[in-house]
Structure 1
């Protein structure tokens, strides 16, 4: 994620006038017509657009993310977390009676394991299809069966790539939880009701 404050060399408390002045100063040397790098200038302009928009700036300040400045892997990680946050909100248990951050981490870990197992299964299927292709005698005319098997191999390869991309998104979501903790309600041992023994 690009830090717009760092990119424009302004303080986080900078007002609109200071941000505008910093942008104009940098634009003089960074503009492609002045010999600057076009990609860097585009990023700098995107940062300026973010900081001059009070709503986007507040969202960035609160979350550290902006969709237009975020890397694709960050956005995918955010999408993974978004669905899990909805589950957390809809959980009927009393806040403080369970650790939702630990639950999020467990869910993400489970999803990574499932995706890796799925990849192993797909690789096994792809290997079997390739062995069939190796053993299949080719017809002199159109190789319909061979074409179908090769297409199936490509479909499996595409599915493996999609699963690998999903794992990267889940891992990114997991890393976004770094540093979070959750304060649990403290329950005294004498407040816990133990089941009565049968007489």
Structure 2
């Protein structure tokens, strides 16, 4: 995640005028027409737009994220965490009677285990298909069966890559929960257990 304050070199308390002056100062050298890098200028401009928009700035200040400045992996991790947050909100148990952070971590771990098991199953199926390909006699004119079986292997390869990407996203979400803890009220837990 790019920090727009650091990008413009202003403090978090900077007003609109200070932000505009900082942007103009950096834009003189960062602009591509002045020999600057196109990507660096785009990040500078996005940072300026974020800090100039009171609503986006407040959201960034409150969450530390802005979709236009976030890394793709961070956004995918946030989407996963968002679904878990919704589950916490809908949980009928009293706040303090359970640890929602630990529950989110368990769910993420379960998702990773499930995805890895799914990959193992797909690899097993792919190996069986390859074994069939090696054993099937080919028709000289057109190898219809061979092409169909190879196509299935390619589809399985795509599904494995997708599952591996899903694991990466889940691990990113898990990492985003690092450092969080939750204070559980022991008396609430005792009451809930009775």
TM-score range, shorter chain: over 0.9
Structure 1 residues not aligned, in runs of 5+: none
More helix per residue = 2
* Pair 1:123-2:126 in alignment: no
Question: Does the alignment pair 1:67 with 2:67?
Answer: yes
| Structure 1 runs (4+) greater than 4 angstroms displaced | 191-195
Distance in 1 between residues matched to 2:163 and 2:192, nearest whole Å:
46
Are 1:14 and 2:1 an aligned pair?
A: no
Q: Which has the larger radius of gyration?
A: 1
Match of 1:23 in 2: 23
Q: Deviations over 1:69-117 (max 9, x none)?
A: 1111111101101111111111111111111111001110111111111
Structure 1 length-normalised TM: 0.92
Cα 1:89/1:126, change in 2 over 3 Å: same
Confirm whether residue 152 of structure 1 aligns to residue 152 of structure 2.
yes
Alpha-carbon distance between aligned partners in 2 of 1:98 and 1:87, rounded to the nearest angstrom = 13
> Is the partner of 2:141 in helix, strand or coil?
coil
Supply the distance in 1 between the matched residues of 2:50 and 2:159 (Cα, whole angstroms): 36
Match of 2:178 in 1: 178
CA apart distance, 1:10: 1.0
Q: 1:8 to 1:193 in 2, by over 3 A?
A: closer
TM-score normalised by the chain length of structure 2: 0.94
Deviations 1:148-194 (A, max 9, x none): 11110011011001111111111111111111111111429xx8699
1:89 paired residue number: 89
Per-residue CA deviation, residues 102-153 of structure 1 (Å, 9 max, x unaligned), is 1001110111111111111111111111121122222111211111111100
Show structure 2 runs of 5+ residues with no match. Answer: none
- CA–CA distance in 2 between the matches of 1:62 and 1:79? 17
In the aligned structure 2, how far is the partner of 1:87 from the partner of 1:62? 21
The whole-number CA distance in structure 2 between the counterparts of 1:48 and 1:178 is: 30
Determine the C-alpha separation between the residues in 2 that align with 1:112 and 1:143. Answer: 38
**RMSD over aligned Cα, in angstroms?**
1.8
